[in-house]
Amino acid sequence: MSWEAVIGLEVHVQLKTAEKLFCPDSTVFGADPNSNVCPVCLGLPGALPVLNQQAVELAVRTALALECRVHRTSVFARKNYFYPDLPKGYQISQFERPLATGGLFSAPHPEGGRVEVRIRRIHMEEDAGKSVHDRLPHATAVDLNRTGTPLVEIVTEPDLRSPEGARAFLQGLKHHLEYLEVSDCNMEEGSLRVDANVSLRRSGTEALGTKTELKNLNTFSGVEKALVLEIERQRAELDDGRAVEHQTLLWDGARGEIRPMRTKEESHDYRYFPDPDLPPLIVEESEVEAIRGQLPEFPQARRLRFQEEFGLPEYDAGVLTATRGLADYFERAAAAVGDGKLASNWVMGPVLQELNQRGLDPKEFPLDPVVLAELVELVQSEVISHRVGRKVLVSVLETGKSPAAIVEEEGLAQVKDEDALEEWVSQVLDSHPDEVQRLQEGEDRLLGFFVGQVMRVSEGKADPKEVSRRLRDAVS
């Protein structure tokens, strides 16, 4: 019997605000336990929540970027349940009337084509605290710093059909949200968390089977592996003529296994009701349109534009649009250099290398694209060699001086002086008699070796074209 998997996702995304959703406590990650708390997020009697408008704006951006319809009126509701990391005894979320519904998002599939998923709804909610199991021996600690942190929950329709597709969708979504600058999407710090629903049905049929819920999927590989295991488990049940039981399963990344968590609470168990402390959230059409007007150009569109506008190969355009910061840097460099392909070579080569080595975001890279262009010009006009150019780039980063000043101070300009060139060339030829003989016998690839040696001896100051010409003359 052949079965088809039906997968839907719930993605919790932490919004990039400085303050919590209903109080002014900091949302910074890694603060001392229970240091960023106040009467509001601790749920002390009489404390009243005040909605963070920045969070609303980021949530609306998210909704628009996923082609959802943003509703003028949405309602905050209390989701009631007991858990040690939830001091109020309820979580403020949105239930019957979410912020936005009816969107669509597609991402490239690794096997080609795109994986397209409808977005059922996006709602705003506050995060719970964190139970810490590894801090105290024989006890669980509770850290409430995260309590009240603003989230959006993105709920998809069950449009995914495979674990690889789910992973590809999530990777695309993360990339999209990073461009949007609504979240840092840092999975290790819990800024992007995923739950998945999965069921099987006979291939070719429409009716949905009984689904199970997978929780704690906090890495892309975890999502994929957990889904693979759960699909196998359900298939074995069904093949043996048993029914799939409706349940919640927890992914244990360390052990690479899934295990039952608790029987699924139905939504009515939460006794949702509108929060009496918060008025309905009204987002006017004009506000929505203003936010829509500020949406960035997204990675896919930007990659295509880079290919067309700057004549870049698809691969280069993909590398340069990997993050919004790098794409912005490249565009400024291309404008300053006046040649997209040349700018792309420098950004993809030396600039990216320095960024990676220094662990920097392109936004904080101290080399202004205009200064990069000055350096590129020195190389293009053959004042310095390409090799020296890379050295100068590092010096600019370390000293903050201009490329021209560094070339001047360190005497790096290429030497076209006949005597000096002659001296370097003969020095290198004299010290490699065997290679000279092989070159004379027709082993042409050794020319590159000799040019390299002369460049080394001259500390990069020799003009490589001139060196090459002289070497040929010398051995012919």
Binding footprint of Zn ion on the chain (CB under 5 A): 23, 25, 38, 40-41
CA distance 397 to 376: 15
CB of 135 vs Zn ion, minimal distance in Å: 22
Query: Among all chains, which residue has been given the structure tokens 């080609």?
Result: 112
Question: Distance between CA atoms of 238 and 53, rounded to whole angstroms?
Answer: 49
| Pick 144 or 170: Cβ nearer Zn ion | 144
Please, which residues have CB within 8 angstroms of residue 68's CB and are 6 or more apart in sequence? 100, 101, 102, 103, 119, 121, 122
Smallest gap from residue 290 Cβ to Zn ion (A): 29
Q: Which is nearer to Zn ion, 61 or 146 (CB)?
A: 146
Question: How many other CB atoms are there within 10 angstroms of residue 8's CB atom?
Answer: 22
Cβ distance to Zn ion smaller for residue 40 or 128 = 40
Question: In the complex with Zn ion, which residue's Cβ is closer, 23 or 119?
Answer: 23
Smallest distance, Å, CB 23 to Zn ion? Answer: 3
**How distant, in Å, are the alpha carbons of 11, 13, 155, 278, 291 from that of 180?**
16, 12, 18, 28, 11
Cα–Cα dist 406/395, whole Å: 7
Partners of 151 in the beta sheet? 14, 125
Q: CB 88 → Zn ion: shortest distance, Å? A: 11
Which residue's CB is nearer to Zn ion, number 40 or number 231? 40
How near is the Cβ of 306 to Zn ion at its closest, in Å? 44
- Beta-bridge partner residues of 116: 106
Q: Which is nearer to Zn ion, 41 or 124 (CB)?
A: 41
CA atoms within 13 A on the CB side of 184: 13
Please, what is the minimum distance in Å from the beta carbon of residue 186 to Zn ion?
Answer: 22
**CB-based burial label for 466 (10 Å; 0-12, 13-18, 19+):** middle
Please say which residue, 23 or 283, places its beta carbon nearer to Zn ion: 23
Query: What's the closest the beta carbon of residue 49 comes to Zn ion, in angstroms?
Result: 9
**Between 34 and 345, CB nearer to Zn ion:** 34
The residue (of 25 and 178) whose beta carbon lies closer to Zn ion is 25
Structure tokens at 221: 């590989």
User: To the nearest whole angstrom, how small is the minimum distance from the Cβ of residue 8 to Zn ion?
Assistant: 33
- Strands 139-143 and 90-94 come out as unpaired
Task: Report in angstroms how near the CB of residue 149 gets to Zn ion at its nearest.
Answer: 10
CB of 20 to Zn ion, least distance (A): 5
**Distance between CA atoms of 170 and 184, rounded to whole angstroms?**
14
Instruction: State residue 206 phi and psi, 5-degree precision.
Output: -105, -35
Residue number, 87 or 103, with CB nearest to Zn ion = 87
